[in-house]
Amino acid sequence: MMILLMISAVFAGTFFSFTHILSDQLISSSIMITEVSLVVLLFLIGFDIGNNRESLKTLIKADRYAIIIPAGTIIGTIFGGYVVSLITDLSANESMAISAGFGWHSLSAILLADLKGSDIGAIAFMSNVFRECIALVSIPFLVKFIGPYSPIATGGATTMDVTLPVIEKYCGKRAAIIGFINGVILSTLVPIILPLF
Amino acid sequence: MLSYVIALGVGVAAGFFLPSGFMTKPKSLIFNISLLGLLFFMGVNLGRDPELLSKLSNFGIISGIMSVTVVVFSVIAVMILMRIFGEKSS
**Spatial separation of the C-alpha atoms in residues A163 and A183, rounded to whole Å:** 10
Q: Is the dihedral of CA A33, A194, B69, A164 positive or negative?
A: negative
Our count of domains for chain A comes to 1
* Contact assignment for B67 to A127 by CB distance below 8 Å: yes
- Boundaries of domain holding A85: 40-196
Average per-residue pLDDT for chain A: 85
Task: Say which DSSP state A147 is in.
Answer: T
Q: Is the dihedral of CA A84, A85, A89, A95 positive or negative?
A: positive
Of A27, A72, A88, the CB nearest to B78: A72
**Spatial separation of the C-alpha atoms in residues A97 and A119, rounded to whole Å:** 13
**Spatial separation of the C-alpha atoms in residues A81 and A23, rounded to whole Å:** 38
Nearest Cα of chain A lies from the Cα of B85 at a distance, in angstroms, of: 8
Interface size, chain A vs chain B, as Cβ–Cβ contacts under 8 Å:
288
**Spatial separation of the C-alpha atoms in residues A48 and B8, rounded to whole Å:** 10
* Contact assignment for B66 to A99 by CB distance below 8 Å: yes
Among chain A residues, CA nearest to B3: A39
The reported pLDDT for the residue numbered B90 is 45
**pLDDT per residue as tens digits for the range A61-105:** 667 888 899 999 999 999 999 999 999 889 999 999 999 999 888
Q: Which residues of B are less than 8 Å from A131 in CB distance? A: 67, 70-71
Q: What percent of chain B has pLDDT over 70?
A: 88
Chain A touched by B22 (CB under 8 Å): yes
- Domain membership of residue A96 (yes or no) is yes
Task: Say which DSSP state A22 is in.
Answer: S
**pLDDT per residue as tens digits for the range B6-33:** 887 898 889 888 887 777 788 888 888 8
- Domain membership of residue A22 (yes or no) is no
- Domain membership of residue A3 (yes or no) is no
Higher pLDDT, B10 or A166: B10
Query: Is residue B1 very low, low, confident or very high in pLDDT (cuts 50, 70, 90)?
Result: low
**pLDDT per residue as tens digits for the range A107-145:** 888 889 888 888 898 899 889 888 988 888 888 889 999
- Domain membership of residue A12 (yes or no) is no
**Spatial separation of the C-alpha atoms in residues B59 and B40, rounded to whole Å:** 18
Window 23-82 of B, Cβ < 8 Å to A: 27, 30-32, 34-49, 52, 55-56, 59-60, 62-82
pLDDT at residue A11 greater than cutoff 70: yes
**Spatial separation of the C-alpha atoms in residues B74 and A54, rounded to whole Å:** 27
Domain ranges of chain B: 1-48, 52-90
Whether the complex's predicted ipTM surpasses the cut of 0.85: no
- Domain membership of residue A79 (yes or no) is yes
**Spatial separation of the C-alpha atoms in residues A152 and A73, rounded to whole Å:** 9
Task: List the Cα angle B67/A49/A56 in 5-degree steps.
Answer: 110
Nearest Cα of chain A lies from the Cα of B74 at a distance, in angstroms, of: 4
The reported pLDDT for the residue numbered A55 is 60
